[in-house]
Amino acid sequence: MSDRILMKGNEAVGEAAIIAGCRHYFAYPITPQNEIPAYMAKRLPEVGGTFLQAESELAAINMVFGASAAGARVMTSSSSPGISLKQEGISYIAGAELPCVIVDMMRGGPGLGNIAGSQADYFQATRGGGNGDYRIIVLAPASVQELADITIEAFDLADEYRIPVMILGEGYLGQMSEPFSLPEPSGKTFEKPWALTGAKGRKPNIIASMRLTPENLLEEHNLKLKKTYDKITEKEVRYESYLLDDADYIIVAYGTSARISRSAIIELRKEGIKAGLFRPISLWPYPYKELKKAASHAKKVLTVEMSLGQMVEDVRLAVMDDEKVDFYGRTGGMLPESGEIIRRVRHYGS
């Protein structure tokens, strides 16, 4: 146990990014993720990297665009309203097929909302807050350890598929300290022959997101993106199941909501009520098939979120039985209560 250290989620992201080889980080501060820029400001110069506090979120995401085009492993981070401002850039980066890692430690909304943790930006993250036919990979960790491990993975996925990868946490995950072990570097390397590294001895590379002519060029490009998305959907679905084999009642939750649901399930099992947890880790691609299979034997599927009901739409798409799907959510930065989850599941059986 001696290799375990206590660190805030936000700081763990920073250290894991450095372990993953990230040497460029551009951001604009916002609570509850300010420990990420603070950590990167301190650590990146020590490893020969570049930390830059941009003048705005727009500037930050476009610096990410530029660094990624030049072949760098690059990250930015923000929280809900700041991520809204970054959507234009994210759409451009996705259109230009560039890799980058974006951390969103969600806070209460809409608008400036508040600074407590929230999961109300599921739609924004998984449906694309920017314009156009694009997807980004969205990963939702539920502990500081998983947050660090996923950060390593996110950089590899971004490079492998040339796609932005979003790590979607909430303020609670970023602010919480938990014991964890520093992740190992994956050891994977990626050639980037497309990068803008100077055209000496070769034809210039061109990276663009605008394709005006000929008229079918954009469709061709988007169909090429679609092929990548299909491959990701096939290969990169991630989820965790807990006590699902014999479960009459399935709770579907991610991030901090999943932790609270897990506590509720332990209590329910003590009462002899067969409850289990399905925790999507990849929110895009969503584990539709896996959830459909798990839910096929269940009597009820309760979705728990820190929102008024966003992921529950994906749960409905997976389960395809509206009678079976129930929802419990808290909004505005409030946490779901374990007691309320227990009361609901007890009620299903009565």
Binding-site ranges for other proteins (CB under 8 A): 1-2, 4, 6, 31-32, 115-116, 172, 175-179, 256, 259-264, 266, 335, 337-338
**Smaller CB distance to other proteins: residue 108 or 285?**
108
Residue 197 CB: number of other CB atoms within 10 A?
A: 13
**Smaller CB distance to other proteins: residue 1 or 210?**
1
The nearest distance, CB 304 to other proteins, in angstroms, is 12
The nearest distance, CB 251 to other proteins, in angstroms, is 12
The nearest distance, CB 96 to other proteins, in angstroms, is 36
The nearest distance, CB 140 to other proteins, in angstroms, is 16
**Smaller CB distance to other proteins: residue 82 or 95?**
82
**Alpha-carbon distances, residue 211 vs 36, 81, 203, 216, 222 (angstroms):** 36, 30, 20, 9, 10
**Smaller CB distance to other proteins: residue 170 or 314?**
170
The nearest distance, CB 15 to other proteins, in angstroms, is 16
**Smaller CB distance to other proteins: residue 35 or 314?**
35
**Smaller CB distance to other proteins: residue 8 or 192?**
8
**Smaller CB distance to other proteins: residue 126 or 175?**
175
CB distance 159 to 194 below 8 Å? no
The nearest distance, CB 97 to other proteins, in angstroms, is 38
**Alpha-carbon distances, residue 265 vs 260, 270, 291, 319, 345 (angstroms):** 9, 9, 18, 20, 9
The nearest distance, CB 239 to other proteins, in angstroms, is 18
The nearest distance, CB 93 to other proteins, in angstroms, is 30
**Smaller CB distance to other proteins: residue 136 or 302?**
302
